[in-house]
Amino acid sequence: MNQLKLWIVIIILSLTVGSSFIAIKIVLDSIPPLFAFSIRFMITGGVLILVSYIFDRKSQEIKKIKLWRNALIIGAFLILGGHGLIAYGAQYLSAGIASLLNSTIPLWVVLFMFLIFHVKITNLTKIGLTLGFSGMIILVGPSIGGDQGLSLVGIASLLISSLFWALGSIFSSKVSLPRNFLLSAGMVTLIGGLLLLIPSVLTGELNLLPSYSDINFNLLISYLFLIFIGTVIPLAEFYWLLKVSTAAVANTFAYMAPIVAVFLGWAILAESVTYLTIIATIVILIGVALIVRTSENSNNK
């Protein structure tokens, strides 16, 4: 596996995921969270399945019940549990804090791999994970210590979401899915979106949908951005990473995504970039580099 290609995909994935947190905040100001994410993932799933069919029309994998069963289980973990709780918790937290809590995913992946499959944690991986998480604390720590009140409901939702995503990532790398990573991602997201619609309907979100007159240009653009740039592209990249690397490497985007939020704040909102931000960026990137390099070395043995 070419390490440069791996880095390019991880960086693009981090950019799209990081920017999606801003779009999420805009969308959730007007649309109920579970319904918004349900439609988001059903459209994403349909698009990915259609694209996979265009490029591989001879494939019969979409007809296999076993693959749909695996996609159902993964969709329950990644989309219903993972993204459903992100949608719910993001209502109560800023985009930066939500992104920080989301950055714990690689820690849980490594921990679960150790506890469930007894995978050895190398010293480099331990250092990389420690540096990555430390960088996240440096990055958003000052905002936590300020006058911003943090919701316990929001914090719990994002942390539990990370647990679900980590378990779903590991399961995805261990079971049979379509060889075409676009079809794999499409099946999982389509089912996940349908699963999200169930609690959305049961909690009465359909009665809270905005009227036609309340749908403005910013909401429409943010929602389209969230679906196509913030979901279709990242999920295709994520499933490609799961196929060519490890679950820990595939989830390193969670470390770098908050950096994107800081940069967008500086570039678009004229927010200041402090020396702590620069230090955090360096620490995070070193941590990610150690995890990627460790995976590369283990895969090449």
pLDDT digits (tens, 9 = 90+) for 228-250: 999 999 888 888 888 888 777 78
Token code pair at residue 153: 């409901």
Confidence of residue 136 (pLDDT cuts 50, 70, 90): confident
152 contacts: CB under 8 Å, gap ≥ 6: none
pLDDT tens-place string over residues 74-131: 999 999 999 999 999 988 887 777 877 787 787 788 888 888 888 888 888 888 888 8
pLDDT value, residue 4: 83
Token code pair at residue 22: 């801003």
Please tell me what DSSP assigns to residue 234.
H
How many structural domains is the chain composed of?
A: 1
pLDDT value, residue 143: 55
Confidence of residue 150 (pLDDT cuts 50, 70, 90): low
Between the alpha carbon of residue 140 and those of residues 103, 136, 177, 224, 253, the distances in Å are 12, 6, 37, 28, 17
Assess whether pLDDT exceeds 70 at residue 270. Answer: no
Buried b (16+ CB within 10 A) or exposed e, 21-41: bbbbbbbbebbbbbbbbbbbb
pLDDT value, residue 98: 80
pLDDT value, residue 49: 94
Ramachandran angles phi, psi of 101, nearest 5°: -60, -35
Confidence of residue 269 (pLDDT cuts 50, 70, 90): low
pLDDT value, residue 31: 93
Domain that holds residue 248: 3-299
d(CA 83, CA 101): 13
Q: Which amino acid is at 226?
A: L
Residue 39 near residue 277 (C-beta atoms within 8 A): no
d(CA 156, CA 160): 6
pLDDT tens-place string over residues 34-54: 999 999 999 999 999 999 999
